[in-house]
Amino acid sequence: MTQKSTILLGFGLHTNAHGDDPDWRGFWNNLVGRLDGAAEFLTLEDRFADPGRDGLDAILLANWLAPRSRDIGIIAGAPLNFVEPFHVSTAIATLDYVSAGRAGLLIQRLDQQRSRDAGRAIGALKGFPAVDPPSLDSDTLAATEVVRRLWDSWEDDAVIRDVTSQRYVDGEKLHYIHFQSADFRVLGPSITPRPPQGQPLVAFGWTTEADLALARVADAVFVPAGTGFAGVAAKLRGDGQGTRPKVIADLQVRPDAADVAELVAAAQTSVAQGAEGIRLILPAPYRQIASVVDALVPALRADLLVAQPVGADLRTRFGLPVARNRYAAAA
């Protein structure tokens, strides 16, 4: 008999999933309606981070989808070594308000070629990093740190709406973050109050051993299932560098194959190897959604998945503690 485990289940989509459909609003509205309640979270990869591809802005799409969904967590991607971390921070904070605590950020990076093209387009403006992999990773780490610090730059009770003193906020509960890297500087504070979760979930997709530094700063790491998964999961579990991230196994769902039994077996193997969740990657959701929701998800839940509490915020679903505000704690 298969042993039951409390395992997270999510979907992975990219923002050009609607393809050439001119009614992208109808496509995404129908899609999120099918996915809502079928899993604990959804990731939206911003295709600007992929050479030769483009699509809707993932964070803007997430903010559009949030009020059209009820329960599913929405983890929106952003190429953090290109976009301004200040704006990413405020946009994800807004998503957390719109979704009532269901927001997350997926760390993405431009590769060397995409970064080189972007650098030429920017021209003489300062702040864009060198395009060698270590510089791109260093810039992504710095941007992630800025996003997190800005979420803490307002204390939870900074908004006071005091009619007598005619003050909307208590200025002593807003904090400058004073961040300086090799490529940019951010003073802060944010222009958006601290998100409902305090720190929305931060996720990252593992590709190579060089990703360990980025994995250490994430709350959840998506790792391809199959050969090598067990080694990566063990490395992330036994790293010893602070709080370890949740390790989620990525399973590719083929567009034209009825592979329910195969995927259930792969999920079982990943869980046995240390996976704390499964992300189903759907390359063609317009063709896959019916079979995935109606057949694959029930099969997975019947075999090894237990639903998370409906209505819980995303941090709670991932088993993360209440986020401490670093500036309030230091005051």
Say what the pLDDT of residue 2 is: 43
* Helix %, strand %, coil % of the chain (to 5): 40, 20, 40
**What is the residue extent of each domain of the chain?**
8-148+188-324
Q: Rounded to the nearest 10 degrees, what angle do helices 133-151 and 112-122 cross at?
A: 70
Per-residue pLDDT of the chain (331 residues; tens, 9 = 90+): 344 557 899 999 999 888 878 899 999 999 999 999 899 999 999 977 776 667 789 999 999 999 999 999 999 999 998 889 999 999 999 999 999 999 999 999 877 666 666 666 565 555 556 777 888 888 999 999 999 999 999 999 999 898 888 888 999 999 999 999 888 899 989 999 999 999 999 999 999 888 899 999 999 999 999 989 999 999 888 755 557 899 999 999 998 766 899 999 999 999 999 999 999 999 999 889 999 999 999 999 888 766 555 668 999 999 999 999 999 866 5
Say what the pLDDT of residue 62 is: 97
- Token pair of 101, please? 């605590």
Distance CA(233)–CA(212), nearest Å, equals 11
CB 145 within 8 A of CB 213: no
Residue type, position 114, single letter: R
Closest-CA residue to 179 (of 204, 201, 148): 148
Distance CA(45)–CA(150), nearest Å, equals 23
CB 104 within 8 A of CB 65: no
Cβ-in-10-Å burial (0-12, 13-18, 19+) of 2 comes to exposed
Which CATH superfamily is 8-148+188-324 part of? Luciferase-like domain (3.20.20.30)
Question: How many Cβ atoms are within 10 Å of 267's Cβ, its own excluded?
Answer: 25
Looking from the CA of 118 toward its CB, the CA atoms found within 13 Å total: 24
Task: Taking the CA atoms of 187, 180, 151 and 326 in sequence, report the sign of the dihedral they define.
Answer: negative
